[in-house]
Amino acid sequence: MMSDEVSPAEVEDEGLAHQAANAVAAYRGGDREPLARLVRSVTPLLWRTVRAQGADNEQAQDVVQNVWLTLVRDIESIRDPHATLQWLLVTARRAAWRTVRRSRDDQIRTEQDDQITEWLVAPSDEAPDVQVARDERDQALWRHVGALPERCRQLLSLVAMVDRPDYAVVSRTLGMPVGSIGPTRGRCLAKLRLALAADPTWSLQ
């Protein structure tokens, strides 16, 4: 036999669902105060939802803010106001998941780019067998570097010469705007990374 008892969470969700529906209707009618109250009531719930997906504080703030902005932008197109709360939660969860995944992918690419750049730097004193392995790897690396467009070759050669390249110097040397150096470096390293990944003689260690 099923229990007729309702959990506090269900009561809260049901109350918020009605509040969300009323807020949407009021907003459409020109009254914005109910929506402002809804933001105060539901934001903590959205925050917990977003953080549960692994988003950090800054990411969570951006996601929650964008969810509310999206609701306001699309509020006239909502067909069922009573589904607003569910839409908010689902949208927040999906946006958080995408943000976290994109952040992790960017971190992986950055680590790989930094690793490749390090390999472009002249090696330090090493044991003979390590040196032989490095030489073989470097031959493959420079072969693929040589196949890159000239601008990429010039840029990678400059940024690999020092630990912390001075972008102002690079800009003057190559005639590139300072703001384009980072993105261009990223694109060049992405091309190099793809070429190395397709080379069976190469492996990122």
CATH number at residue 79: 1.10.1740
Answer yes or no: do 125 and 173 share one domain: yes
Domain membership flag for residue 63:
yes
- CA 22 to CA 38: how far, in whole Å? 9
Residue 152's domain comprises 121-197
pLDDT of residue 129: 53
Q: What is the pLDDT at residue 5?
A: 36
What is the tally of structural domains in the chain?
2
Q: Does residue 62 sit within a domain?
A: yes
The answer to whether residue 96 sits within a structural domain is yes
Say what the pLDDT of residue 107 is: 61
Structure-derived torsion over alpha carbons of residues 134, 135, 139, 144, reported in degrees to the nearest 10: 20
Vertex 52, ends 48 and 54: CA angle to 5°?
125
Does residue 79 register a pLDDT over 50? yes
Sign of the alpha-carbon torsion through 58, 63, 64, 68: positive
pTM of the model: 0.48
pLDDT of residue 65: 92
Sequence-distant (6+) residues with CB within 8 A of 141 are 116, 119, 120, 196, 202
pLDDT above 90: residue 148: no
165 domain residue, yes or no:
yes
Instruction: Assess whether 33 and 93 both reside in one domain.
Output: yes
pLDDT band at 38 (very low <50, low <70, confident <90, very high): very high
